[in-house]
Protein backbone atom coordinates (compact mmCIF):
# COMPACT_ATOMS: atom_id res chain seq x y z
CA UNK A 1 0.00 0.00 0.00
CA UNK A 2 1.46 3.38 -0.96
CA UNK A 3 2.43 5.66 1.91
CA UNK A 4 1.48 8.86 0.06
CA UNK A 5 -1.61 9.82 -1.85
CA UNK A 6 -0.16 9.89 -5.35
CA UNK A 7 -3.49 9.43 -7.16
CA UNK A 8 -6.28 11.87 -7.93
CA UNK A 9 -9.64 10.10 -7.78
CA UNK A 10 -12.53 11.76 -9.60
CA UNK A 11 -16.05 10.95 -8.40
CA UNK A 12 -19.45 12.34 -9.28
CA UNK A 13 -22.64 11.73 -11.19
CA UNK A 14 -22.62 10.08 -14.60
CA UNK A 15 -22.00 12.64 -17.40
CA UNK A 16 -20.33 15.14 -15.05
CA UNK A 17 -17.13 14.80 -17.07
CA UNK A 18 -14.94 12.53 -14.95
CA UNK A 19 -13.38 10.78 -17.95
CA UNK A 20 -13.00 13.91 -20.07
CA UNK A 21 -11.53 15.93 -17.22
CA UNK A 22 -9.45 12.97 -16.08
CA UNK A 23 -7.63 12.62 -19.40
CA UNK A 24 -6.88 16.35 -19.57
CA UNK A 25 -5.84 16.50 -15.92
CA UNK A 26 -3.50 13.51 -16.29
CA UNK A 27 -1.92 15.06 -19.35
CA UNK A 28 -1.43 18.42 -17.58
CA UNK A 29 0.08 16.86 -14.47
CA UNK A 30 2.13 14.15 -16.19
CA UNK A 31 0.20 11.30 -14.58
CA UNK A 32 -1.28 8.10 -15.95
CA UNK A 33 -5.03 7.92 -16.56
CA UNK A 34 -7.32 5.06 -15.53
CA UNK A 35 -11.06 4.90 -16.21
CA UNK A 36 -12.52 2.22 -13.94
CA UNK A 37 -15.62 1.81 -16.11
CA UNK A 38 -13.43 0.95 -19.10
CA UNK A 39 -11.16 -1.39 -17.15
CA UNK A 40 -14.22 -3.15 -15.72
CA UNK A 41 -15.74 -3.55 -19.19
CA UNK A 42 -12.45 -4.87 -20.58
CA UNK A 43 -11.95 -7.38 -17.78
CA UNK A 44 -15.54 -8.64 -17.99
CA UNK A 45 -15.91 -8.51 -21.79
CA UNK A 46 -19.25 -6.68 -21.59
CA UNK A 47 -20.50 -3.11 -21.64
CA UNK A 48 -21.70 -1.51 -18.41
CA UNK A 49 -25.27 -1.80 -19.64
CA UNK A 50 -24.82 -5.53 -20.32
CA UNK A 51 -23.19 -6.07 -16.92
CA UNK A 52 -26.05 -4.31 -15.13
CA UNK A 53 -28.61 -6.33 -17.09
CA UNK A 54 -26.73 -9.58 -16.39
CA UNK A 55 -26.05 -9.11 -12.68
CA UNK A 56 -28.66 -6.64 -11.46
CA UNK A 57 -27.91 -3.54 -9.44
CA UNK A 58 -26.56 -5.01 -6.21
CA UNK A 59 -24.36 -7.65 -7.82
CA UNK A 60 -23.06 -5.11 -10.33
CA UNK A 61 -22.04 -2.81 -7.47
CA UNK A 62 -20.31 -5.76 -5.77
CA UNK A 63 -18.50 -6.61 -9.01
CA UNK A 64 -17.46 -2.98 -9.47
CA UNK A 65 -16.21 -2.81 -5.86
CA UNK A 66 -14.23 -6.02 -6.26
CA UNK A 67 -12.60 -4.56 -9.34
CA UNK A 68 -11.74 -1.34 -7.48
CA UNK A 69 -10.32 -3.29 -4.54
CA UNK A 70 -7.99 -5.15 -6.92
CA UNK A 71 -6.47 -1.90 -8.22
CA UNK A 72 -2.94 -1.19 -7.10
CA UNK A 73 -1.89 1.89 -9.01
CA UNK A 74 0.07 5.02 -8.24
CA UNK A 75 0.68 8.40 -9.87
CA UNK A 76 -2.61 8.26 -11.75
CA UNK A 77 -5.80 10.18 -12.30
CA UNK A 78 -8.63 7.72 -11.73
CA UNK A 79 -12.07 8.38 -13.20
CA UNK A 80 -14.51 6.21 -11.27
CA UNK A 81 -17.89 4.87 -12.21
CA UNK A 82 -20.70 6.93 -10.73
CA UNK A 83 -21.93 4.02 -8.61
CA UNK A 84 -18.61 3.35 -6.84
CA UNK A 85 -19.85 5.37 -3.84
CA UNK A 86 -22.35 2.62 -3.01
CA UNK A 87 -19.54 0.46 -1.61
CA UNK A 88 -17.65 1.91 1.36
CA UNK A 89 -14.75 -0.53 1.04
CA UNK A 90 -14.12 0.57 -2.55
CA UNK A 91 -14.13 4.25 -1.57
CA UNK A 92 -11.80 3.60 1.39
CA UNK A 93 -9.41 1.77 -0.94
CA UNK A 94 -9.39 4.64 -3.43
CA UNK A 95 -8.97 7.19 -0.64
CA UNK A 96 -5.94 5.43 0.84
CA UNK A 97 -3.82 6.12 -2.24
CA UNK A 98 -5.55 9.18 -3.65
CA UNK A 99 -7.15 12.52 -3.03
CA UNK A 100 -10.86 12.07 -3.75
CA UNK A 101 -12.24 14.96 -5.80
CA UNK A 102 -16.02 15.19 -6.12
CA UNK A 103 -17.07 16.91 -9.33
CA UNK A 104 -20.34 18.51 -8.24
CA UNK A 105 -23.00 19.38 -10.81
CA UNK A 106 -26.45 20.84 -10.32
CA UNK A 107 -29.46 18.75 -11.32
CA UNK A 108 -30.55 21.02 -14.20
CA UNK A 109 -27.11 20.81 -15.84
CA UNK A 110 -27.04 17.06 -15.28
CA UNK A 111 -30.42 16.61 -16.94
CA UNK A 112 -29.12 18.44 -20.01
CA UNK A 113 -26.00 16.23 -20.21
CA UNK A 114 -27.51 12.86 -19.36
CA UNK A 115 -30.15 12.24 -22.00
CA UNK A 116 -30.14 8.43 -22.27
CA UNK A 117 -29.52 6.99 -18.83
CA UNK A 118 -30.03 3.39 -19.98
CA UNK A 119 -27.63 3.48 -22.92
CA UNK A 120 -24.95 4.95 -20.69
CA UNK A 121 -25.05 2.05 -18.23
CA UNK A 122 -26.12 3.93 -15.11
CA UNK A 123 -26.97 2.04 -11.93
CA UNK A 124 -30.45 3.07 -10.82
CA UNK A 125 -33.50 1.30 -9.44
CA UNK A 126 -36.52 0.56 -11.62
CA UNK A 127 -38.84 3.56 -11.55
CA UNK A 128 -36.20 5.80 -10.00
CA UNK A 129 -36.01 9.23 -11.62
CA UNK A 130 -32.78 11.08 -12.31
CA UNK A 131 -33.78 13.57 -9.60
CA UNK A 132 -34.20 10.69 -7.11
CA UNK A 133 -30.84 9.21 -8.10
CA UNK A 134 -29.21 12.61 -7.74
CA UNK A 135 -30.73 13.14 -4.27
CA UNK A 136 -29.55 9.67 -3.22
CA UNK A 137 -25.98 10.01 -4.47
CA UNK A 138 -25.02 13.61 -3.68
CA UNK A 139 -24.64 12.98 0.08
CA UNK A 140 -22.53 9.90 -0.67
CA UNK A 141 -20.18 11.84 -2.95
CA UNK A 142 -19.96 14.74 -0.50
CA UNK A 143 -19.33 12.42 2.42
CA UNK A 144 -16.45 10.57 0.77
CA UNK A 145 -14.69 13.51 -0.92
CA UNK A 146 -11.56 15.24 0.26
CA UNK A 147 -12.27 18.13 -2.13
CA UNK A 148 -15.44 19.28 -3.89
CA UNK A 149 -15.18 21.20 -7.17
CA UNK A 150 -18.15 22.81 -8.91
CA UNK A 151 -18.56 21.34 -12.41
CA UNK A 152 -21.79 22.93 -13.66
CA UNK A 153 -21.59 25.00 -16.85
CA UNK A 154 -17.80 24.89 -17.13
CA UNK A 155 -15.71 23.97 -20.18
CA UNK A 156 -13.31 21.03 -19.69
CA UNK A 157 -10.15 23.18 -19.65
CA UNK A 158 -11.68 25.47 -17.02
CA UNK A 159 -12.67 22.43 -14.99
CA UNK A 160 -9.10 21.13 -15.08
CA UNK A 161 -7.90 24.53 -13.83
CA UNK A 162 -10.44 24.40 -10.98
CA UNK A 163 -9.33 20.91 -9.94
CA UNK A 164 -5.65 21.88 -10.00
CA UNK A 165 -6.39 25.01 -7.97
CA UNK A 166 -8.37 22.98 -5.45
CA UNK A 167 -5.51 20.50 -5.13
CA UNK A 168 -3.21 23.38 -4.28
CA UNK A 169 -0.86 22.95 -7.24
Give tens-digit pLDDT for 87-103.
999 999 999 999 999 99
Residue 3's pLDDT band, with cuts at 50, 70 and 90, is very low
The predicted model scores a pTM of 0.92
Q: At residue 4, does pLDDT exceed 80?
A: no
Selected residue with higher pLDDT from 138 and 114 = 138
Helices (H), 30-47: 36-44
Extended strands (E) in 17-88: 32-35, 76-79
pLDDT tens profile 48-76: 989 999 999 999 999 999 999 999 999 99
Full residue range of the structural domain in which residue 29 is found: 7-163
- Alpha-carbon gap, residue 48 to 129, rounded angstroms: 19
Tell me whether residue 55 is in a domain.
Answer: yes
**What CATH number has the domain bearing residue 57?**
3.40.50.300
Number of domains in the chain: 1
Tell me whether residue 2 is in a domain.
Answer: no
Instruction: Kindly calculate the radius of gyration of the chain based on its CA atoms and give it in whole angstroms.
Output: 15
Structure confidence at residue 2 (pLDDT): 38
Tell me whether residue 1 is in a domain.
Answer: no
Structure confidence at residue 121 (pLDDT): 63
Average pLDDT, the chain: 91
Tell me whether residue 12 is in a domain.
Answer: yes
Tell me whether residue 168 is in a domain.
Answer: no
163 phi and psi angles, rounded to 5 deg:
-65, -45
Tell me whether residue 169 is in a domain.
Answer: no
Residue 140's pLDDT band, with cuts at 50, 70 and 90, is very high
Amino acid sequence: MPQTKSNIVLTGMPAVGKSTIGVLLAKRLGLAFVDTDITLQMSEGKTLRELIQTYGLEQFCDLEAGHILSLNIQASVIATGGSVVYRKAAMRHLGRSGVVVYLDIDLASLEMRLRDIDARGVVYAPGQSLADLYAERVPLYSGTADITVQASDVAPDQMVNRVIAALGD
